[in-house]
């Protein structure tokens, strides 16, 4: 598999880890925020493992605060503990964490699964706006077929080729 001109199968395990940290922002279905840590600490966490990604930030704290604002989070939330946030706020912090340092690729696993239809539309508008602003590629997994219309390309698992490993 080639991503951004790099053949991933030629990389060692450690180099693949570095590639992921530098180039891929992840939005987990359950957000995976550190509940005891502040919003700012959660957002900045990926930068600890990705010096190139960190170098793309002019001012880490300001960039994190700007992402929070752009994603509709209230002023001053950066000092709040993640455990004190609503589900919608946690979701937006997870997006900010994925976007910090402008990774070229975002992978989102069911990021709207816990939202009602109205909240889902608002959240997706905000997320897509930030993805476009950073010129990132979004790869999103969802069971909700209504979301397909928002994407340039859709791959349905039912359309993929199945192989029988026993016969091979």
Residue 138 lies in a domain: no
Average pLDDT over residues 97-114: 92
Count how many domains the chain has. 1
The CATH number linked to 40 is: 3.40.50.300
Q: Where are the beta strands (DSSP E) in the chain?
A: 2-3, 6-7, 24-27, 105-109, 137-141
pLDDT of 6 > 60? The answer is yes
Residue 85 lies in a domain: yes
Q: Are 111 and 94 in contact (CB under 8 A)?
A: yes
pTM metric for this prediction = 0.87
What's 74's DSSP letter? P
SS3 state of residue 10: helix
Q: Using one digit for the tens of pLDDT, what is the confidence trace for 139-160?
A: 999 988 889 999 999 998 888 8
Q: Quote the pLDDT of residue 159.
A: 83
Domain hosting 96: range is 25-133
Average pLDDT over residues 82-86: 96
Residue 69 lies in a domain: yes
Residue 8 lies in a domain: no
pLDDT of 163 > 80? The answer is no
Q: Which residue has the tokens 């950073």?
A: 134
């Amino acid at each position: 598999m080639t991503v951004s001109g790099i053949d991933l199968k030629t990389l060692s395990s450690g180099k693949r880890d570095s590639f992921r940290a530098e180039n891929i922002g992840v939005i987990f279905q359950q957000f995976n925020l550190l509940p005891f840590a502040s919003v700012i600490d959660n957002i900045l966490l990926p930068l600890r493992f990705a010096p190139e990604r960190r170098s793309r930030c002019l001012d880490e704290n300001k960039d994190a605060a700007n992402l929070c604002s752009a994603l509709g989070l209230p002023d001053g939330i950066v000092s709040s503990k993640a455990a004190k946030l609503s589900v919608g706020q946690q979701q937006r912090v997870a997006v900010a964490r994925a976007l910090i340092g402008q990774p070229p690729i975002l992978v989102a696993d069911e990021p709207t699964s816990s939202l009602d239809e109205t909240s889902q539309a608002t959240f997706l508008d905000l997320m897509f706006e930030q993805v476009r602003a950073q010129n990132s590629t979004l790869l999103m997994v969802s069971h909700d077929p209504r979301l397909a219309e928002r994407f340039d390309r859709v791959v349905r698992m039912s359309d993929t080729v199945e192989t029988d490993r026993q016969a091979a």
